[in-house]
Amino acid sequence: MSLSLSKKAQSVKPSSTLSITAKVKELKANGVDVVGFGAGEPDFNTPDNICDAAITAIKSGFTKYTPASGTNELKAAVCRKFQEFNGLHYEPNQIVISNGGKHSLTNIFDAILNPGDEVIIPGPYWLSYPEMVKLSDGVPVIVYGTKENEYKVTAEQIEKAVTAKTKALVLNTPNNPTGMIYTKQELQKIADIAIRHDFYVVSDEMYEYLIYGEEKHVSIASLGEEIYNRTLTCSGLSKSYAMTGWRIGYVGAPATIAKLMGAIQSHATSNPNSIAQKAAYEALTGQQDTVVTMREEFNRRRIYMYERLSGMPHVQLFEPKGAFYAFVDVSELFGMTYKGQKIENGQNLAQVLLSDYHVAVIPCDDFGYPDHIRLSYAISQEQIAKGLDRIENFIKDLK
Ligand code: GLU
């Protein structure tokens, strides 16, 4: 058979975060005592009130199609959340509920990009952004943040990357994988550039509730009408409410774009899962104590992990301020040998850690930073301690 396949599909790399996570789950199922620092997936169960709402939805027959872009009830709850938490006013016709944050983002790129449109993506970036842009016929343009600015890109760097083809900028604060947070002043400068050069801002705020310490989350769309009109504000329930498997994400957008996204979604998936929508409604409108408890626990783990990693030789990191990742520069380990074999790069290092020390980490080539690895602290303190002991032993064993 000589039938060809889609060149676009063939150019896409499968998600390594998901494949490493799947590998860890498989190893655990086979009885291997592996510590998984891979997935950005809270180890907590979804809170009971949310699960109960889903069970009630099933038992009461809320198991049919819903409007394509989500139920009115959930859209209204999302509007209230945007108003109260983000200081953003959206009407229900500006909201699109989708099957997870990823689906929200792919809908956005499908709705705004024409072939050849450029999308500026600050690095380090979550690995799915460039692939999503390519799938929507766009061209990812990477701008690399530096250590001098804690890996955050500056407005000047963004401006240098702007061309006549620039259609959008992806902004992710708190950031996956660095845990860094953009301040209001930094966002204001970026907003000014988006307005001056007239491009969209795709603002991925998935980790907005997971901020520790003094800094506050700022939604770029809240900085004035002109930036509001150019911004697509995305979030979801996966991280803050421990609902990764439920797949509910949402976007607040200009009404014209929300309409396009709804139309795309109506053909792609009909609607987000009806039961998950009821669960999401409960998550957003019910008691919020569990969100606070989970955040406090993430904070304890963050402090522990940062202290331990900072005490290890040959690795460097900044204190993460949000999300639940530590972004670690391991380049000093490259060139050292393990059992007579040279550690060449992050992939190589991650392979040895997994096979010989039973620790899974994410090599960050796919995040644009091959000298780094990412460790999630969304696993228990006990697991973190065990995994860090193993990493410490690995470093000691290197020659
Ligand atoms: N977003 C999480 C992560 O970065 C989950 C896996 C994925 O969707 O990439 O680990």
Q: Which CATH number is 388's domain given?
A: 3.90.1150.10
Across 17-38, average pLDDT: 92
Residue 2 in domain? no
Asked if 191 and 317 sit in the same domain, the reply is no
Nearest by Cα to 230 from 264, 265, 203: 203
pLDDT of residue 221: 98
Q: Which residue segment(s) compose the domain that 302 sits in?
A: 7-45+290-397
Let me know whether 155 and 187 are in one domain.
Answer: yes
Report the separation in Å between the CA atom of 102 and the middle of ligand 1, taken as the mean of its atom positions.
Answer: 9
- Picking from 285, 310, 329, the residue at the C-terminal end of a domain is 285
Task: Give per-residue burial for 329-367: e unless 16+ CB within 10 Å, then b.
Answer: bbbebbeeebeeeebebbebbbebbbeebbbbbbbbbbb
Pick the residue whose CA is nearest to atom 2 on ligand 1: 40
Q: Ligand 1 centroid to 115 CA: how many Å? A: 27
Q: What are phi and psi of 377, to 5 degrees?
A: -105, 30
CB 177 near ligand 1, within 6 Å: no
What's this model's pTM, rounded to 2 decimal places? Answer: 0.96
Please report whether residue 50 resides in a domain. no
In a shared domain, residues 115 and 163: yes
56 located within any domain:
no
Task: Take atom 10 of ligand 1 and give the residue whose Cα is closest.
Answer: 40
Mean pLDDT, residues 164-169: 98
230 lies in a domain?
yes
Q: Hey, what amino acid is at 302?
A: R
Q: What percent of the chain has pLDDT over 90?
A: 95
How many angstroms is it from 99 CA to the middle of ligand 1? 15
Same domain for 99 and 17: no
Query: For the residues 223-244, what does the mean pLDDT come to?
Result: 98
Q: Please report the pLDDT score of residue 38 as a whole number.
A: 92
47, exposed or middle or buried, with CB in 10 Å at 0-12, 13-18, 19+?
buried
Q: Is the pLDDT of residue 350 over 90?
A: yes
Q: Are residues 13 and 126 in the same domain?
A: no
Residue from 13, 126, 176, 376 whose mutation best tests the ligand 1 pocket (most atoms within 8 A of CB): 126
Q: How many CB atoms lie within 10 A of CB 27?
A: 16
Question: Atom 1 (ligand 1): residue with closest C-alpha?
Answer: 40
Atom 5 in ligand 1: residue holding the nearest Cα = 40
Q: Is the CB of 271 under 6 A from ligand 1?
A: no
Indicate whether 280 and 294 sit together in one domain: no
Q: Are 115 and 88 in contact (CB under 8 A)?
A: no
